[in-house]
A and B are shown apart, each in its own frame.
Chain A
Amino acid sequence: MMYSLSEIAYLVLVILILLITFFWLMVYFEIFNEKEKTRKVKDYPKIAVVIPTLFEGEDLKKSVESVKKVDYPAQKISIYIGLNKASDEKTRKVAKSLESKRVHAIDTGVNGKASVMNYILKNSLKDEQFILTLDADSMIDRLALKRLLSMFDDEKVAVVTPSVAVYRPRNFIEKLQEYDYIFSMVLRKAFSKMDALLVAPGPGSLFRRSTLEKVGYFDEGNITEDMEIAIRLLANGYKIRNKINAFTYTVVPHTTLKLLKQRIRWYTGFFVNVSRYHALLDKEKASVSKSVILLILLSTALSIMVIPELAYYIYIDISGAYTTVTNIGINYLISTSLNDLYIYFFSFNEITILSLITLFIGLFYLMYALKGMKKTLDPVRDTLAVGLYITFFGYLLAFSWFYGALKAGMLRGDVKWRINTQS
């Protein structure tokens, strides 16, 4: 008996998923078991903290307060709050109320996150050597700044990214995102180890100012300027490092719809930027390996494919059961269910076993990442959360990736920031 075409396709998919899971698992082993090469911070360079703001209001206070509490000489830090042209009155008032010798509220008169940051970088900075970007709804951990700085061990290092965690998750959607952010922390560390970290997230990335000036600041027309700058830096031969124990905290969307919109924006931006810069990434001076980018794209493609494939099998099973129930009735099905279970044993074969192994390794991969970051695991809570993550959140992510890819294809790179005025 030979495999049918759909069985061959399924088998190839399972083997690829297994291969990629093993690959990343081995990178994770390295991350959690090796001592990181860092530089001891002796001299404290001046740092500009740039906080672009739009409608964040009171949240801005928490953001600024967190910077004031960092373990770093206060006189070496300047905080620049960048107000959008469209910023509301409340946010303006909060920004003005925070002004001091170290905190500057700047009405930039421009719109868009990248434009606001560029305005400050070009017009307001003094002699700071490093720039920390911080979203106005994000906070930085007290120990993060020194840890980020310790990773600038090479002139080629242009930016060091933190581990972004969810700030006080409350509802179901926020708690699921807490797990997603934890998995992202490890994945980003893994990407950075392979010189393929394609994002310098807004909440807490530390840039070398001179490099940022050399490459021409942030792209003002880009919806994901944090990805664009990262890819552009890599394309120009610079390195992006990640410091896994330098934490920043961000407020996350609290409804499914808002989360979906955010993810679609991220993934559209990802595809737009990768397609825009793929030629640049091919350049000899680019510090990123093409094969690694391909591996990341393949991992993404598999995540997109595996969920619809599972959905297809679930649909086939459910529609078959529905037809049987409507034709035959549920009572007969229940009366024969024990016998069906016995017959199910006969369908166990090498593909079933390989699928179960892949599922087990996949779960181990997620739990290992979780253990590495949280240090202790709650067997019930964390297992339940991971289960929900790979089902509910998995579908949401797959849909966002898929829709993002479609949208990026249709937009062909023509993606611009739009500011919706607050109602």
Chain B
Amino acid sequence: MLAVFAVILMIGISFVFGYMLASLKEPVIQTSLSQDQQSLEALILTSNLDYTNTSLSCAILEAGIGTLSNNLNELSNELNSAMSGSVVTPQYSQLSNQLTYTRLNFWVLVQRTNEECGNKFVNLLMFYPGSSTCNGCVNEGQELAYISYISNYTTVATVLNAHANVSAVSALDRYYNVTTFPMLVINGKYIVKGYLTTPQIIQYICKYSSSSDLCKQNISS
């Protein structure tokens, strides 16, 4: 009986500390997300002002998109880590939806920047399943972060949970017919299904966007 009591006590302690940790993590994520949302809004505003000074706004967008891409990837990792294996998730679902929406807007902004500023970026969109297991999704996500890094953020990757409870994501799922995971969309047009190694991803990038710095560097094996 004493052992049972001790175990109940330990479980209680774990959950109390788990809750305290979650309470510490949540505002950190919330603050980062708010900052990224503000950065995104600033970039969207800049893109809307292109009729006044196109070259200036494109330069601002180019600089801002790389940084924001990196920040959003990190925030996504932090939020996924915080959500995995925990029932003590006070506002995480709401944060997750907000982040998904922000990432989606970011992806649209990069598409628009490419149209208005002349394909400065390789815009990658990767879908992963939120609720089921996916062989290779984590690895492919890491590979995309790596490719962004070696391309000096001229390749930007947006990773989306295809099962997120966000209506815009459902619309994208239908539009791209997302059924297998991971699934990669290059520059909004070209779809590659299944897990890809880093050289394979670079090959596809060069196939569909030959002006990419990656192809000039001839990194692909």
Q: Which residues of A contact B (CB under 8 A)?
A: 1-4, 7, 15, 18-20, 22-23, 25-26, 320, 323-324, 327-328, 332, 339, 343-354, 357-358, 361
Contact = CB atoms under 8 A, between A and B. Distances in A.
Contact of B7 (A15, A332, A348, A351): A15
Interface of B: 2-4, 6-7, 10-11, 13-15, 17-19, 21-22, 25, 29, 74, 77-79, 81-89, 92-93, 138-139, 142-143, 146, 149-150, 197-198
A327 B197 contact: yes
Nearest to A350: B18
A249 B212 CA distance: 74
Contacts of A361: 10
Contact of B198 (A20, A26, A327): A327
Contacts of A358: 10
Nearest to A348: B21
Q: Point out which of A26, A344, A348, A352 has the most chain B C-beta atoms below 10 A from its C-beta.
A: A348
Contacts of A26: 2-3
Contact of B86 (A1, A19, A22): A1
Contact of B14 (A19, A320, A327, A357): A357
Contact of A346 (B2, B18, B81): B81
B21 A351 contact: no
Given A324-B142, A327-B198, A328-B146, A349 B88 contact: yes
Nearest to B79: A346
Contacts of B17: 350, 353
Contacts, number: 98
Contacts of B149: 332
A349 B80 CA distance: 12
9 contacts: A18-B7, A22-B2, A332-B149, A349-B18, A349-B82, A350-B14, A352-B85, A353-B21, A358-B10
Contacts of A354: 10-11, 14
Q: Point out which of A18, A20, A339 has the most chain B C-beta atoms below 10 A from its C-beta.
A: A18
A351 B138 CA distance: 21
Given A320-B138, A349-B22, A343 B13 contact: no
A23 B84 CA distance: 31
Given A344-B81, A353-B17, 15 more contacts: A19-B7, A20-B3, A22-B6, A26-B3, A323-B139, A324-B143, A332-B149, A332-B150, A343-B78, A346-B25, A347-B85, A349-B84, A350-B88, A353-B18, A361-B10
A18 B92 CA distance: 29
Q: Point out which of A3, A320, A345, A346 has the most chain B C-beta atoms below 10 A from its C-beta.
A: A346
B84 A347 contact: yes
What's the dominant secondary structure at chain A's contact region? Answer: helix
A304 to B, nearest CB: 21
A193 to B, nearest CB: 15
A150 B96 CA distance: 69
Contacts of B138: 320
Contacts of A351: 14, 18, 85-86
B7 A327 contact: no
Q: Point out which of B10, B13, B78, B88 has the most chain A C-beta atoms below 10 A from its C-beta.
A: B10
B93 to A, nearest CB: 7
Contacts of B11: 15, 354
A328 B142 contact: yes
A339 B146 CA distance: 14
B198 to A, nearest CB: 4
B196 to A, nearest CB: 9
A318 to B, nearest CB: 13
Nearest to B25: A346
Nearest to B198: A327
Contacts of A22: 2-3, 6-7
Q: Point out which of A7, A25, A353, A358 has the most chain B C-beta atoms below 10 A from its C-beta.
A: A353
A345 to B, nearest CB: 8
B10 A349 contact: no
B18 A19 contact: no
Contacts of B74: 339, 343
Given A18-B10, A320-B139, A349 B146 contact: no
